[in-house]
Structure 1
């Protein structure tokens, strides 16, 4: 329950505010920022943090009313970090690691998340909706931020036009010039690489096959 509604009975938690901070895109932090954040919350709040909420925000758990304005000033003016969305409004957009470190990213999730966050600042800071609303940005169908399950509007990277196949690279893979699975299982002799057994037969929609020594893909069936 919210014991702060009964300050006479529970004076030690008469105030119990939680603060949401807008996390950086893909949640990249350096140690200086994290140390400053911990120092701030040890001084102004309970010292308890949640990295991160299901929306993605940095959650600062527990402080008193008179600390809210100093926290806001230090976060925005000293740490260059904005507050996140809470309540019946747009929640803080979040994205996967995208092109920063992932070879599968099909668009720049960080840039899109940044642009949408700035464009909808008013909707983030001033609750005006009947219920919360979330954007999430997945760079590919692997869905590392679970945009379908955990947001109201999903942005998922996918192929444009037909899938492009480097047939020379496929042949090099078949001939053993490239280590299967990037060499992850190189500590044991697994025998000759079998593209049918290890790739084609594992496709859930069976959209790939070999024809005339070339890899073929039914684009409409590829998920």
Structure 2
């Protein structure tokens, strides 16, 4: 039987979509049934009290969680998000309800034995509620008490060879797409780069010292399956710098209807005959494609690697062979300022096994941002405040036309007096001689 009446929450079960309320009730009932089998290390009615507290928040239109100070595991400043209820007498099961972030494997590949072990641990020492995965990518374990934190940490690290993720003003858990392990369009090994950066920057991941959070995300190609361009302070997006490879016979097969477009993804619906002009050429953002003599032509100098044509005709078009990555900086959701997409910093970089070039860019940015960034200011906000030119200076990257997002858009690149032979005085005198009035 439910411990608390929840008429407002019950309404959230009435729609056609899956309901988190139904999941919570199922978990609450499961804990009641298992209490004779498992010696739970936190109150058995933790999920029941969570439902009751949430109902109270709906009734009073007030959040009843408070932050009671820093809580965590020894030696780490991140990985645990402290949560305390401000109604502990009424809802003792959630007097403590800490969240733990666990570092997900690159590409989110799991063995079933690992998942069973993780769920058994969290049933025993936590609420059993998980989030697979958080927006950063972590495995999120929702709800445990302060005495259990070290116990859980010990089991994760010593028995499961698993580390906590990032939280607070530090490097958040790096996240990557499947990359070369599954995707034919991956331009570099996203999983390997994600792993190497995770191992290289352990101190920045576990001991907060930044002005605010900092995220790495690794997309293997411009399709952006982890949406790094919208969510990461530093985005690593796979690209190529030679020509798109064209199989003209396959192009003809698409045009003739012998091969279904979009990898056959819409086979269940009849969209009519494929029209390459309407569905590919006219949708090219830079209009760099055309048909001539029954063959597809691409002006690769104008191609922006949007991937649309490759997605529609994957058997006819392939990414180039000279592959690497681009680095973008400054993406974030609204915090101090509005939402921002990443700005291109490194147009192209080959990825070698040392990753020295990647590390140099990262560390130059960190040195500047840690010195100049304000409290709770993301990298993108520091860039906006001090200008893109400053970012180029601190990273030692030369200005490039590709740093300009569109014609006549201010690229934040200016000449300094010492960089102009003769200085500004010569330019002013020249201007006055041509405009005497």
TM-score range for the pair, normalised by the shorter chain length: 0.7 to 0.9
CA distance in 1, matches of 2:228, 2:264: 31
1:10 alignment counterpart: 88
1:124-143 superposed Cα distances (whole Å, 9 cap, x missing partner): 11111121100001111111
Rate the CA distance shift 1:189–1:27 in 2: closer, same or farther, 3 A.
Answer: closer
Matched, 1:170 2:248: no
Q: Secondary structure at the match of 1:103?
A: coil
2:136 alignment counterpart: 55
1:159 pairs, out of 240, 249, 257, with 240
1:70-98 superposed Cα distances (whole Å, 9 cap, x missing partner): 11111111112111011110000001122
Gap regions ≥5 residues in structure 2: 1-64, 70-83, 305-437
Question: How many residues align structurally?
Answer: 223
1:82 alignment counterpart: 163
Q: Contact 1:4/1:14 (CA < 8 Å) preserved in 2?
A: no
2:126 pairs, out of 40, 45, 52, with 45
Rate the CA distance shift 1:190–1:38 in 2: closer, same or farther, 3 A.
Answer: closer
What is the TM-score normalised by the length of structure 2? Answer: 0.47
2:194 alignment counterpart: 113
1:169-202 superposed Cα distances (whole Å, 9 cap, x missing partner): 3234334443333344556776654322332123
Q: Contact 2:220/2:237 (CA < 8 Å) preserved in 1?
A: yes
2:277 alignment counterpart: 196
Q: Contact 2:66/2:85 (CA < 8 Å) preserved in 1?
A: no
- Comparing 156-165 and 63-72, the one that deviates more: 156-165
Q: Contact 1:46/1:62 (CA < 8 Å) preserved in 2?
A: yes
| Larger-gyration structure (1/2) | 2
Q: Secondary structure at the match of 2:141?
A: strand
How far the C-alpha of 1:101 sits from its partner, in A, is 2.1
CA RMSD of aligned residues (A): 2.4
2:145 pairs, out of 61, 64, 68, with 64
Q: Contact 1:95/1:145 (CA < 8 Å) preserved in 2?
A: yes
Rate the CA distance shift 1:93–1:167 in 2: closer, same or farther, 3 A.
Answer: same
Gap regions ≥5 residues in structure 1: none
Q: Secondary structure at the match of 2:235?
A: strand
1:182 alignment counterpart: 263
